[in-house]
Amino acid sequence: MVSSSPVFNSTWLNFYDREIDSIHPKKMLIEHWSNILFDEWISSQSSKVHKCPFEKPLEIHAYKEFSTAPIQLILTIEDRCGNIYELLVERKQDVKIFEGVQVKDYHLISVEFGVSLDLKEEIFRDYTGLLDTSGTATIIWHWYNNKTPLDQKPNTTSPHVNIHWFNPRGRMVRNDPINPYDSINYAQLANLNLEDLQQFKEDVSPGIWKANLVSESEEGQKLLAEITFSVFPDLTEILPYSEERVTNPLVKRSYKLLDVCTRTFLQSHIRVCETSVLWSTVYPDAKSDFIVDNRRFI
């Protein structure tokens, strides 16, 4: 039965394909990001591994093991020998919410960084979270209010707060007031368009950026939360060595390689994607099959 499949509750979404997305604005950044993750894995393998250099990324999938599981990334990579691997990758969020913080009756419960926010659904559509110095950073956070809806002011599900944006040098480049917002998910959000800061070029550089969520009142400021995120160089060509020294640590800081499988050849210590790796995009998934006139399609 389909429901007895070990991947019955799992979902995959292919959101990047090298052939289809040949003019993707982040194509070069995706290439370097993939290369760094692949090199990190291959360099950790024993001398018995058939090592070939990275060639290119083929696809990126968003993967959820079950409906409430966090989204992970599956990166499909080809090496220069024609071997194809799948890498399971986790995005890391560096967030600190301070204990006992609340604004009026609102309790802060989560803060998240991302790019390409879908305002209607209040979710990020670029699952890689890759941001360069020409892009826009988005921070979204959620509140809990222990009052009943009738006790709340109409059309507000959040309080008034400020968000302070800091560049890698520790300079505050923006202080944005965020007004109360009406959200079905009790969310608020703020955007920082890095291109808007380009008139002060010394303010925009690759590295680790920070956003502080602050409550400001007559009594002073109260720090509610802080989140850091990586900003990569704006790549249009081969990565210069000077920027490579910045990019490599940023990838390793923001992404964690969880697992690897192979599609094309057998080695005793590398699992085969199609037969033994439940998260793989090519593992048999009966719920994705359909039958027409006794013919089975996948």
- Give the chain's residues under pLDDT 50: 150, 290-298
Contact 66, 5 (CB under 8 A): no
pLDDT at residue 29, rounded to an integer = 93
Identify the pLDDT of residue 181: 85
Predicted pLDDT at 43: 86
| pLDDT recorded at residue 291 | 43
pLDDT at residue 3, rounded to an integer: 58
Could you read off the pLDDT of 116-139 as tens digits, one per residue?
A: 999 999 999 999 999 999 999 999
**CATH C-level class of 94-231:** mainly beta
Is 70:11 a contact under the CB 8 Å cutoff? no
Question: Do residues 38 and 56 touch, judged by C-beta distance below 8 A?
Answer: no
pLDDT number for residue 142: 95
**Residue 296 confidence (pLDDT):** 40
Q: What is the reported pLDDT for 26?
A: 92
**Can you tell me the distance from the alpha carbon of 241 to that of 14, in angstroms, rounded to the nearest whole number?**
32
What string of DSSP letters covers 70-91?
A: PPEEEEEEEETTS-EEEEEEEE
**How many whole angstroms separate alpha carbon 64 and alpha carbon 142?**
22
pLDDT at site 203: 84
Q: How far apart are CA 194 and CA 82, in angstroms?
A: 38
What does the pLDDT read at residue 292? 43
Tell me where in the chain the CATH 2.60.40.1930 domain(s) lie.
Answer: 94-231
Compute, in degrees rounded to 10, the torsion defined by CA atoms 168, 169, 172, 173. -70
| Burial class (CB within 10 angstroms; exposed 0-12, middle 13-18, buried 19+) of 232 | buried
Instruction: State pTM to two decimals.
Output: 0.88
The two structure tokens encoding residue 160: 């008034």
Instruction: Taking the CA atoms of 33, 129, 62 and 253 in sequence, report the sign of the dihedral they define.
Output: positive
